[in-house]
Amino acid sequence: MRALFGWLLCGAAMAAVMFGGVVLAVVLGAAAYLGGEEFIALTRAKGMHPSARIIRGMIIAYFVVAALPSIPALHLPQDFSEEHFPLLLTVGICISFFRLLFRHEGPPASIADIATTILGFIYLGWMPSHLVLLRNLIPPGWQPVHNPLQQPGLAYVWATLFIIWGTDVFAYYAGKLFGRRLLYPEISPKKTVEGAVVGFLSAIFWATYVVFVSDHYLFPGHPFGFQLWQAPLMGAVGSVGAQLGDLSESLLKRDAGVKDSSTMIPGHGGFLDRGDSLIFASAICYYWVKLVVLGVL
């Protein structure tokens, strides 16, 4: 059962990435929405009462805004989403205070209620929606590419996902095989230093491999500009983000006193358990590509 659901999730994720655009936004947004439900449950287990409606609504809003430039009929500029993300953040923070200020049901709102409301939509809305921005990214001077399999954003997302998968998979098996020293036992009792190092090195290898193959064989436009020296650095930075994302979600679960974020995915726990590495790494790799690879920040 675990293997079956694992392959189903992997297949759905790969198909969504290949199609890109609205399809990716809907699939990833649905996963983030369900992750938001798990986050709300974790906070309630700690006696907090965030606004579930605001968290849900803001998660949806981030993925909608991230997807809008990929709809040709709208004729929106490429940077539309990134320019409007700060507006969404401002609106979300304001309504979090105002809604909880005038909340009539239940106990009066607390600092923790307001803070967890804001954290919820940043953690499950703002951060993972950067993967949609990355998939829609077009280097300066490029003309729009209509074939989704030739779009430069696909290369950037593949590099990011291989960094995440390489980190997670190789860290897990290395830790199982020869892990001895615990990495952070207070938070995650099974993660080891040896696993973290192997996952880190694996991410560097896979980032370099994907960048090389993308520029030389898969994408005629050479989305990474033959700058192979940047790939190991992207792998290193992305792997650190992935591992910190994993530990951060473990911290939330440990504080809430639960082993898994939920049982939504049989044999795999919840959506937070499966996507914790992606939450930070997708945003980090997006800004890495814009700043270092494309030099547009």
| Cβ-contact 119, 113 below 8 angstroms | no
Give the Cα separation of 8 and 57 in Å (integer): 27
**Whole-prediction pTM value?**
0.95
At residue 106, does pLDDT exceed 80?
no
At residue 51, does pLDDT exceed 80?
yes
pLDDT level of residue 110 (50, 70, 90 thresholds): confident
Give the Cα separation of 140 and 86 in Å (integer): 23
Residue that wins the pLDDT comparison between 214 and 141? 214
At 2 the pLDDT is 59
The number of CA neighbours under 13 Å toward the Cβ of 263 is 1
Q: Which residue, 228, 240, 246, 248, is CA-closest to 285? A: 240
Q: List 192's β-bridge partners, or say none.
A: 182
| Cβ-contact 215, 222 below 8 angstroms | yes
Read off the pLDDT of each residue in 198-221 and give the average, rounded to a whole number: 97
Read off the pLDDT of each residue in 276-297 and give the average, rounded to a whole number: 93
At 277 the pLDDT is 95
At 6 the pLDDT is 66
Read off the pLDDT of each residue in 150-156 and give the average, rounded to a whole number: 97
Integer CA distances (angstroms), 91 to 40, 42, 54, in order: 20, 24, 10
Integer CA distances (angstroms), 96 to 28, 42, 51, 138, 282, in order: 24, 18, 7, 34, 25
φ, ψ for residue 192, nearest 5 deg? -120, 160
Can you list the positions of beta strands (E) in 93-154?
Answer: none
At 278 the pLDDT is 96
At residue 1, does pLDDT exceed 60?
no
Of the chain, the percentage scoring pLDDT greater than 70 comes to: 96
Read off the pLDDT of each residue in 138-158 and give the average, rounded to a whole number: 93
Q: Which residue, 122, 125, 115, is CA-closest to 34? A: 125
The tens digit of pLDDT for each residue in 182-192 reads 999 989 888 99
The tens digit of pLDDT for each residue in 16-46 reads 999 999 999 999 999 999 999 999 999 999 9
Give the Cα separation of 32 and 14 in Å (integer): 16
Instruction: Please give the torsion angle defined by the CA atoms of residues 225, 229, 230 and 236, in that order, rounded to the nearest 10 degrees.
Output: 150
At 281 the pLDDT is 97
At residue 267, does pLDDT exceed 60?
yes
At 297 the pLDDT is 59
| Cβ-contact 258, 21 below 8 angstroms | no
